[in-house]
Chain A
């Protein structure tokens, strides 16, 4: 059982090596889809067997890896991690499904995505700082090439910006890790990178503050929080569809995951001390980027800004120091993963067919691609937290919890929800309706527009069904997540 988790993590990497060696297009497509499905099933099995009433990490596997530096191979999951793993593995299946028609160097494309999957699963499972950092950085190179090689017009600029921002953040994260490892060494005389070893310490305030800021900078760039968010719209706009899907659904969660997994339990006092700062940054993210989203005419850019806004809700809930709010924040990570994946798929589909992301070039599409119109609507509603879908439960919990401790902040953040409805509906109207903008020329071109194909439908169904399940029957998910929240908040 404890080996299953490691198998799930490294199976995609094995697949990446195989695709790189065999170099047959069909093989790499089938293999990627097959491997990601197997990984999903393994994670689903682990999820279903997860004991939510027990404390601590489960499916733990540990052995010494680099003894002289105190580094071990240590993986395991708690409630939050297993939920994120499930979402991640699902989204990867969808990404591969969506990419079945990729024609430009497919072997490399699928190999990079498979390597990326290993890195993502690893980040959520690692219980050793070194291992965690290895996976954290491991996603950088594949994603860099995915954006840079399969992206749109300004792909090189976007890829470089993505790399430099993320690298900047993670080097500070590394410094943070090093500082607490060294503190542990000075205190106990034992050099250890083990996460569970460090949980036992209560660090002095000065170290907590410094490490919180160093870790926080690394996480903030990844989330991304305002004001280090500017790489995200560029990366999203230029990335290929599946890249955007993974970026929004999985990579952004690494940052918020880091806050819950590392910052809160390791530096509880500093976390409390920095609540006003985090709240301020979150609120700016929620309101300001929502307003930025309203101003966009580029649908992918709009969805990218909406992501930043929603991640603001996650950080708000994370630091509200309330069980419900933290549950909501973790729930939101998964809910947003699903909804943003669906939204980017919709945008990507529109681009594939019409070759434009600009609202002015669209308008009145609903008549020609009715299936997409329905699914796009549902995706959008999932994104803005419509009742019955996962996002609603998440936002409700976050605001409920935050309101208890910080009513004013919760109230201001609530405005963001209204704005999110505004920008989505406005965008939807301009893209799907407004038939008066259809010129003769456009009519001629669009008459033969092909609606969603089977693999598209399947991708959407997987995502949207999950969003509905989590929206209509949240109990088991909240219970599993609560296993982490209770622990993190010290109860």
Chain B
């Protein structure tokens, strides 16, 4: 048994167990300590990545380690740690501190971490479920609020549909190939294609691509805001690192391009148009996530190292920008009476110039304005698509980006150029939140100016 390959996951699991045990003995007033410990668990996992020798296989070949998926895990751990650091103050303000807070995100991250490395449908299924169950719970963890419970319920139902599709897809896959391992199968019988359709659909559901996106706006809106930050960043990174690896096995399937292209074009245009109708900024960003799922899927439309590099760069930086913006919204939400309605953002710049500027920075990053790093990602996707002669998709990306500019701008206009009507008590930023916000914004700008620091690490 190659233990070395699963060190980071082992560390995570031990951390979770430690938290379980501590949970038994600690009193409620010490829950803050629990939260702090939990935030350091992914940091230790991150360090343990240095000790993994790759490429390697473990668990009878179910689990594979390569430089690429180690990088993905590193991003996951950093993001999770940031979420855990920044969310305590929010829950205290909401008067909803539970011990589950400390380990549920870790459980999900453990699932996603295994997901990235899975080389087999069993591993994929189990890890995705582990991650999902954690997330269903996290979404509904504001027990006092109706919206949170509704969001969790809806997410659970839709997620179960995804699970069923995944299970059925795996069954068909096994029926047509006689194995559950991913391999390059070239005999394309209709059962195999059907299984691919189901598997991709299940993953598209998790990635919130249209037409499997229905849960996204509700779950994002109802979830506690730091958890929305988690949902919009950590699972996305894991999924695309996985999808890039799956692409390596299944790219020769003729239907692949068509399927991915349809999903991505639908997501880009549908979400960008519907976003205009939103009044809640949180919901608006949920639609922005769906639109981004569309951009990201373009990155796996065909095999091209530049394209996949750009995708992984893009999705990693998007995760930071997204986490940053939701953390910021959590900070704002701690003020009583704040509801994320567009009107509540009016005149934010006059009250909190620094927070408003940071939010504007993230929004400009989503539009894809240089020097923010997301621009480099978009540019890479452009070049990759043109390079592989997928001109219509490149054109769709351009058009969708232009359409998207308007609704992001509306939030910026609200914050900077309009006068506030409602007054809220001043926002207080906790240490963890400040750290998360600063780190996310610095990364988004710094990697925009020196993208090669990350770009060159993404190796194929």
Contact = CB atoms under 8 A, between A and B. Distances in A.
Q: Most B CB atoms within 10 A — which of A130, A133, A174?
A: A174
Interface string B75-109: 00000000000000000000000000000000000
Interface in B380-430: 380, 382-383, 386-387, 394-395, 398, 401-402, 405-406, 409, 413, 416-418
Given A163-B405, A171-B401, A178-B379, A66 B370 contact: no
B236 to A, nearest CB: 23
Contacts of A67: 452, 456
Interface string A142-183: 000100110000011001100110011001101100110110
B456 A68 contact: yes
B409 A175 contact: no
A156 B382 contact: no
A186 B389 CA distance: 11
A160 B406 CA distance: 8
A474 interface: no
A137 interface: yes
Contacts of B395: 175
A149 B364 contact: no
A164 B410 CA distance: 11
Interface residues of A, number: 34
A140 interface: yes
A181 B364 CA distance: 25
Contacts of A181: 383
Contact of B416 (A148, A163, A168): A148
B211 interface: no
Given A66-B452, A69-B455, A134-B370, A175 B398 contact: yes
Contact of A167 (B382, B402, B451): B402
Contacts of B375: 137
A257 to B, nearest CB: 19
Nearest to A159: B417
B307 to A, nearest CB: 12
Contact of B405 (A66, A145, A159, A164): A164
B451 to A, nearest CB: 6
Contacts of B402: 164, 167-168, 171
Contacts of A186: 387
A175 B416 contact: no
B382 A174 contact: yes
Interface residues of B, number: 31
B306, B376, B382, B456 interface centre (most CB from chain A within 10 Å): B382
Contacts of B379: 130, 174, 178
A426 interface: no
A264 B417 CA distance: 40
A149 B357 CA distance: 14
A148 B413 contact: yes
B348 to A, nearest CB: 13
A138 interface: yes
Given A148-B416, A155-B417, A163 B409 contact: yes
B450 interface: yes
Contact of B387 (A160, A163, A168, A185): A185
B300 interface: no
Given A134-B370, A149-B416, A159-B417, A178 B409 contact: no
B369 interface: yes
Interface string B1-25: 0000000000000000000000000
A141 B364 contact: yes
A175 B413 contact: no
A68 B452 contact: yes
A440 to B, nearest CB: 37
Nearest to B414: A156
Given A164-B409, A171-B398, A134 B371 contact: yes
Contacts of A167: 367, 369, 402, 405
B167 to A, nearest CB: 40
6 contacts: A69-B451, A138-B371, A156-B418, A167-B369, A172-B398, A178-B383
Interface of B: 306, 364, 367, 369-371, 375-376, 379-380, 382-383, 386-387, 394-395, 398, 401-402, 405-406, 409, 413, 416-418, 450-452, 455-456
Interface of A: 65-69, 130, 133-134, 137-138, 140-141, 145, 148-149, 155-156, 159-160, 163-164, 167-168, 171-172, 174-175, 178-179, 181-182, 185-186, 191
